[in-house]
Structure formats: structure tokens, C-alpha cells
Amino acid sequence: MPLYASQRLRVLAAAFCLTFCIISGCGPAATPSRPVPAVAVSAPAAEPSRVAPLPDQPHRSTTLREISFDDIKLDMQKGDPFSRDLLPTRVTGLENSRVRIRGYILPSFQQTGLTQFVLVRDNMECCFGPGALLHDCVVVRMVPGKTAAFSVRPVAVTGTFRVQELRGPDGRHLAIYALDGETVD
């Protein structure tokens, strides 16, 4: 469904606000609940889908799991307040797991060298914008030494999945999922 000019402006304004809040670290829950370790992540040549667990995450799964936005979908409507009670076991079971998820990089002013960005379910043609569902985006922070480049095409992001609430200056949730990104293909 095409967007009218006023809808496009609202979508771009919402995207800019979300991206700015993530990059600038605004909101009480914008900082990670635990620091991202400065550990180089590399996979052995014989087993590309397995890595050694990080020292501060002994229960982290090393098996790569392919997921989609449908796998992290919640039973909520637009505008419903978020609480951790809404998280089904299929989502909480992904916590600290290595996952690969496909989506679109939310546009920002930077095209290359992205150290953090928002991965969204689709390319803003229909569902992302004011009032979008919280489970339709994932805040990706690349691990130290890794970066990504913007693409208008879908990308696959590999990294460690976490439930991490990000709130805006008004206290409302902007995002609830985070990924410590290793690769963007």
C-alpha cells in the first residue's frame, strides 16, 4: 500500500527519532544492561556456525539459529504498553543465543561504517512508522571492530540476541530487542 506525502514525512520523522535515540543513547534504558565485551568473535574454519562462548556469558548458546520477525512476534496491538509478561518462552529461549535474522536496515544519514543501526521487518512501505509494533524492529550494535554498510536490499544479521528495553525521552518504549552484531550479509 503506497504512502501519501504526509505519511512519508511521519515515517521519516519516526525513523529519524528512533535512530537518533539509539545512536545518542537517550532514554533511561538506552544503555546496555551489561557492557558489550571487547572480545573478538571468530569461528573455526571447520565449523562456521559455532563460536567459543564469551567469558562473561557462560550460558550463551554457540549454535547459530535462523529466526525471523515472526519468531519474535508478541501478542499485542499497536499502542499497547510493553511488559516482560508478554514475552513467550519462544522469545525468552532466544536470550543470549547466536541468531541470524533477515530484515532491512533503517535508513540514517550514514551509509558506511555503521556501528549501530535498527533492523526492521520490512522496508517501510507499509508497517514501520508511528505506532509500529515493538517486535518489528531490532537494535543492532556491532561488536567492537565490526561495521556494516547501509543497503536498500534485505540483509541477514548474525549476532547474539537479547531482550533489552529502549525507551525514548518520554518514557515510552521505542524497541525491546537488541542484537550484538557480528556480521551483516
> Residue 144 belongs to a domain with what CATH number?
2.40.50.140
Sign of CA dihedral 27, 28, 33, 36: positive
Average confidence (pLDDT) over 77-93: 90
Domain span at residue 120 reads: 5-184
Q: Say how many domains are in the chain.
A: 1
Number of helices (H), then strands (E), belonging to the chain: the values are 2, 6
Please tell me the predicted confidence (pLDDT) of residue 132. Answer: 63
The chain-wide mean pLDDT, for the chain, equals 75
Report the half-sphere exposure of 156 (CA within 13 A, side-chain side): 10
Q: Give whichever of 2-16, 60-74, 137-151 has the largest mean pLDDT.
A: 137-151
Provide mean pLDDT across the span 57-86.
84
Closest CA to 72 of 105, 104, 32, 120: 120
Asked whether residue 28 carries a pLDDT value surpassing 60, the answer given is no
C-alpha angle with apex 158: 156 to 162, nearest 5 degrees?
120
Strands (DSSP E) contained in 15-121 are: 65-67, 98-105, 116-120
